[in-house]
């Protein structure tokens, strides 16, 4: 026991000594650190470099990294877009100027454009590669100077577009011409359609296309300015001419003629306070006019919502008419541009808009020339004070028909839809409250206010009210825009407005609202066509693009055509749409559909996609499964 106590005391004593030693060493170390030590006179300075060496190091560090713009490319870009400074939102407009001049976008020009606009090169590249009509090429790679596009939309496919696509490469075969398939170009009543650079070829044959290409007849022809056009006189009839009278560039009503017919009197009265703004909004509400781009939101209510927002407020007009089967806006615009512009001026004054942007799809080359020329005339001799109006050019992206994607594109960005809320009526273009309208909605403003709300609402069938501009194509004798009463049935529309079905064809199915609106069987041809009447059956009327199929067609082929279109046009921002449309298109090629897997995809796309493209893409597939099961279940016999 004693030995153990002695051992313990020894260990404790040793621990105390160790602690004291450590404390002493720490104190000595601190004292040493605090002691002032004089520098040794034996140490000599060593030079790190001469003054010239230091200057060279600074020059090397200051040199910009990455690819730099060469002087020749800078001069070529400046000659097209003008001298700096440049607005960031005009990036796409400047890309168009380069693309028009060189028929492609060389990467050296993109580098120069980034330098001139003071935008990161990566940002310029990601915008340029987003849009289908910009062809980016590396270095000085050879690019065919002439592009022939053949529309492979459903209406054109029914009319023989695939045959054109097979024959034209051999007939035009040389390195100076390339032939490509293109999504719907908005001329479905003229199917099949080809476009030689910017010149549309309606009712195209391979021989016509070859003749135009070899003659280098590749620009849209000018339109005559001598027409008197009054849409109200066409209510209950056809706006489009008979197929044998189709023209690439029909005559239109110019500024002077429109003024002589009483045009802009309403706009001037509203701006000058002679017509009360509240009475205009009330007329819009009483007429029952709803947004005619597809969503169907009441126009008068939208004006009130945006009017109550803080200034400055902006307007964005959507003429990116890309829904397959739709061509009504082009039909009116290329004949009567000022009726639309007057509606725009009235809306701007009533709502309190300071600046307006018109977004026109790139495929409408003739409309762009008309609209720019007539805008110049309006601004040179205005009937009243005007808001600032800018015409913007799309670049081949169906997604920009979605309102927030269009706004992104107007701002010079990739056309990717925004998450909502906030809604664009509150936070829209350039972060300001924005009134967004489809072309045709504004087109009817003058007639509704001047003739009275009762004039517009007096049309209608089957309990519906108003007029609808139906874009009808497919297996009918007289396709075109039909200005018919809301609530008309498809069977009535074909019989009364389209001259019946083509010879040898009987009604089998129809698409009531373009690619997104579903596919209905003949048994539903007596359903009234209007907002809210189609939804119970699994579709919607949208922009009233009606494509008619006959017993020689298959609904499953139409659904595949539409799904391939959606896969091609998906912006890629959200996975359910980007992956879902491509996967669905692959599954639809099978002789017997995997209905369970397709419905899984449909559910994910509908529930999780950011915008209406992915949410509505499943509609044609679901309709085929529901109404045409015999086409996809291997039975081969109609139920």
Cα 417 from chain centroid (whole Å) = 10
Average pLDDT over every residue of 481-505: 98
Asked if pLDDT for residue 271 goes beyond 90, the answer is yes
Following CA atoms 534, 537, 539, 540 in sequence, which dihedral angle do they give, to the nearest 10 degrees?
A: 10
3-state SS assignment for residue 593: coil
Which structure tokens are listed for 460?
């209608």
Inter-helix orientation angle 575-588/555-569, to 10°: 150
User: Residue 511 and residue 540: Cα distance in Å, rounded?
Assistant: 9
**CA dihedral sign, ordered 67, 90, 417, 186:** negative
- The per-residue pLDDT for range 589-612, each reduced to its tens digit, is 999 999 999 999 999 999 999 999
Q: Residue 49: its pLDDT value, please?
A: 72
Q: What is the DSSP letter of 522?
A: G
- The per-residue pLDDT for range 167-206, each reduced to its tens digit, is 999 999 788 999 999 999 999 999 999 999 999 999 999 9
Average pLDDT over every residue of 450-458: 96
Mean pLDDT (the chain) is 91
All residues at 6 or more sequence positions from 149 whose CB lies less than 8 Å from its CB, including other chains: 180, 181, 182, 185, 194, 195
Contact 476, 493 (CB under 8 A): no
User: Residue 93 and residue 131: Cα distance in Å, rounded?
Assistant: 12
Average pLDDT over every residue of 234-258: 95
- The per-residue pLDDT for range 522-576, each reduced to its tens digit, is 999 999 999 999 999 999 999 999 999 999 999 999 999 999 999 999 999 999 9
Asked if pLDDT for residue 140 goes beyond 70, the answer is yes
With bands split at pLDDT 50, 70 and 90, how would you rate the model's confidence at 635? confident
Cα 514 from chain centroid (whole Å) = 15
Average pLDDT over every residue of 374-383: 98
> Which residues, listed in sequence order, are joined to residue 180 by a DSSP beta bridge?
149
3-state SS assignment for residue 534: coil
Q: Residue 47: its pLDDT value, please?
A: 65
Instruction: Output the CA–CA distances (angstroms, integers) from residue 275 to 188, 261, 266, 579, in the order listed.
Output: 40, 19, 8, 53
With bands split at pLDDT 50, 70 and 90, how would you rate the model's confidence at 225? very high
3-state SS assignment for residue 468: strand
Burial of 222 (0-12, 13-18, 19+ CB in 10 A): exposed
Query: Which candidate, 267, 281, 255, places its Cα nearest to that of 385?
Result: 267
339-371 per-residue burial string, b: 16 or more CB within 10 A, e: under 16: bbbbbbbbbbbbbbbebbbbbbbbbbbbbbbbb
With bands split at pLDDT 50, 70 and 90, how would you rate the model's confidence at 14? very low
User: Residue 72 and residue 112: Cα distance in Å, rounded?
Assistant: 9
Four-way CATH pick for 231-451: 3.40.50.11540, 3.40.50.2300, 3.40.50.620, 3.60.21.10: 3.40.50.11540
Average pLDDT over every residue of 416-422: 95
- The per-residue pLDDT for range 384-411, each reduced to its tens digit, is 999 999 999 999 999 999 999 999 999 9
Q: Residue 67: its pLDDT value, please?
A: 84
With bands split at pLDDT 50, 70 and 90, how would you rate the model's confidence at 54? confident
Q: Residue 173: its pLDDT value, please?
A: 78
User: Residue 113 and residue 616: Cα distance in Å, rounded?
Assistant: 38
Following CA atoms 529, 532, 534, 539 in sequence, which dihedral angle do they give, to the nearest 10 degrees?
A: 130
Average pLDDT over every residue of 468-472: 98
Q: Residue 294: its pLDDT value, please?
A: 84
User: Residue 527 and residue 533: Cα distance in Å, rounded?
Assistant: 7
User: Residue 112 and residue 81: Cα distance in Å, rounded?
Assistant: 11
With bands split at pLDDT 50, 70 and 90, how would you rate the model's confidence at 295? confident
Looking at domain 467-553, which CATH architecture does it have? Roll (3.10)
Inter-helix orientation angle 299-307/277-287, to 10°: 150
Task: Say which CATH class 556-632 falls into.
Answer: mainly alpha
CA angle 621, 624, 628 (to 5 degrees): 165
Query: Which candidate, 65, 126, 70, 68, places its Cα nearest to that of 95?
Result: 126
With bands split at pLDDT 50, 70 and 90, how would you rate the model's confidence at 584? very high
User: Residue 482 and residue 235: Cα distance in Å, rounded?
Assistant: 8
Q: 293 or 631, which is more confident? A: 631
All residues at 6 or more sequence positions from 53 whose CB lies less than 8 Å from its CB, including other chains: none
Asked if pLDDT for residue 614 goes beyond 90, the answer is yes
3-state SS assignment for residue 215: coil
Q: Which helix (DSSP H) or strand (DSSP E) does residue 408 occupy?
A: helix 403-410
CA distance from start to end of the chain: 105
With bands split at pLDDT 50, 70 and 90, how would you rate the model's confidence at 29? very low
Evaluate whether the domain defined by 146-214 bears CATH number 3.40.50.1220.
no
Burial of 71 (0-12, 13-18, 19+ CB in 10 A): exposed
Q: Residue 639: its pLDDT value, please?
A: 45
- The per-residue pLDDT for range 57-92, each reduced to its tens digit, is 776 665 666 789 999 999 999 999 999 999 999 999
Instruction: Output the CA–CA distances (angstroms, integers) from residue 314 to 271, 306, 395, 401, 607, in the order listed.
Output: 17, 9, 22, 18, 32
Q: What are the structural domain ranges in the chain?
A: 2-62, 66-137, 146-214, 231-451, 467-553, 556-632
User: Residue 209 and residue 148: Cα distance in Å, rounded?
Assistant: 8
All residues at 6 or more sequence positions from 603 whose CB lies less than 8 Å from its CB, including other chains: none
With bands split at pLDDT 50, 70 and 90, how would you rate the model's confidence at 22? very low
With bands split at pLDDT 50, 70 and 90, how would you rate the model's confidence at 44? low
What is the CATH code of the structural domain delimited by 66-137?
1.10.10.1590
**CA dihedral sign, ordered 332, 336, 341, 343:** negative
């Amino acid at each position: 026991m004693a030995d153990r106590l002695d051992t313990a005391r020894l260990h404790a004593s040793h621990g105390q000594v160790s602690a004291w030693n450590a404390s002493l060493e720490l104190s000595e170390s601190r004292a040493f650190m605090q002691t002032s030590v004089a520098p040794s006179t034996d140490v000599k300075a060593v030079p790190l470099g001469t003054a010239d060496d230091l200057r060279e190091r600074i020059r090397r560090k200051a040199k910009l990294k990455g690819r730099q713009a060469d002087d020749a490319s800078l001069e070529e870009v400046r000659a097209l877009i003008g001298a700096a400074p440049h607005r960031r939102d005009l990036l796409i407009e400047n890309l168009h100027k380069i693309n028009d001049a060189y028929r492609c976008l060389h990467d050296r020009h993109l580098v120069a454009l980034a330098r001139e606009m003071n935008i990161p090169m990566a940002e310029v590249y990601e915008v340029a590669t987003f849009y289908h009509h910009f062809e980016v090429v590396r270095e000085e790679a050879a690019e065919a100077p002439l592009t022939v596009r053949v529309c492979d939309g459903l209406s054109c496919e029914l009319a023989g577009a695939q045959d054109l696509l097979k024959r034209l490469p051999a007939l035009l075969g040389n390195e100076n011409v390339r032939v490509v398939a293109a999504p719907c170009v908005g001329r479905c009543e003229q199917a099949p359609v080809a476009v030689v650079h910017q010149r549309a070829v309606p009712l195209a044959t391979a021989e016509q296309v070859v003749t135009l290409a070899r003659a280098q007849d590749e620009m849209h022809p000018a339109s005559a300015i001598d027409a008197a056009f009054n849409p109200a006189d066409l209510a209950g009839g056809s706006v489009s001419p008979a197929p044998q009278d189709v023209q690439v560039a029909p005559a239109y009503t110019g500024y002077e003629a429109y003024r002589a017919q009483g045009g802009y009197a309403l706009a001037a009265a509203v701006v000058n306070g002679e017509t009360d703004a509240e009475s205009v909004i009330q007329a819009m509400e009483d007429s029952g006019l709803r947004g005619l781009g597809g969503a169907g939101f009441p126009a008068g209510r939208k004006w009130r919502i945006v009017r109550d927002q803080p200034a400055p407020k902006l307007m964005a007009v959507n003429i990116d008419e890309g829904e397959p089967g739709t061509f009504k806006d082009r039909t009116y615009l290329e004949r009567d541009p000022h009726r639309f512009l007057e509606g725009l001026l009235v809306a701007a004054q009533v709502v309190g808009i300071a600046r307006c942007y018109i977004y026109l799809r790139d495929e409408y080359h003739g409309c762009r020339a008309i609209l720019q020329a007539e805008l110049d005339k309006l601004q040179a001799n205005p009937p009243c004070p005007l808001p600032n109006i800018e015409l913007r050019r799309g670049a081949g992206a169906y997604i920009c028909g979605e309102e927030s994607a269009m706004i992104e594109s107007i701002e010079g960005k990739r056309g990717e839809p925004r998450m909502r809320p906030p809604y664009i009526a509150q936070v829209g273009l350039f972060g300001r409250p924005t009134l967004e309208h489809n072309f045709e909605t504004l087109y009817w403003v003058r007639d509704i206010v001047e003739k009275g709300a009762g004039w517009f609402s007096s049309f209608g069938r089957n309990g519906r009210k108003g007029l609808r501009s139906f874009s009808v194509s497919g297996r009918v004798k007289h396709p075109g825009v039909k200005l018919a009463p809301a609530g008309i049935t498809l069977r009535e529309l074909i019989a009364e407005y389209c001259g019946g079905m083509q010879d040898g064809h009987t009604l089998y199915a129809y698409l009531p609202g373009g690619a997104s609106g579903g596919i209905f069987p003949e048994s539903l041809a007596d359903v009234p066509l209007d907002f809210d009447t189609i939804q119970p059956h699994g579709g919607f009327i949208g922009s009233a693009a009606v494509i008619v199929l006959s017993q020689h067609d298959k609904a499953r082929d139409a659904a595949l055509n539409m799904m391939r279109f959606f896969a091609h046009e998906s912006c890629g921002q959200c996975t359910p749409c980007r992956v879902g449309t491509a996967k669905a298109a692959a599954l639809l090629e099978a002789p017997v559909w995997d209905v369970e897997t397709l419905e899984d995809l449909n559910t994910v796309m509908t529930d999780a996609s950011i915008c209406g493209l992915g949410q509505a893409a499943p509609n044609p597939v679901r309709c085929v499964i529901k109404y045409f099961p015999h086409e996809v279940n291997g039975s081969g016999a109609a139920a």
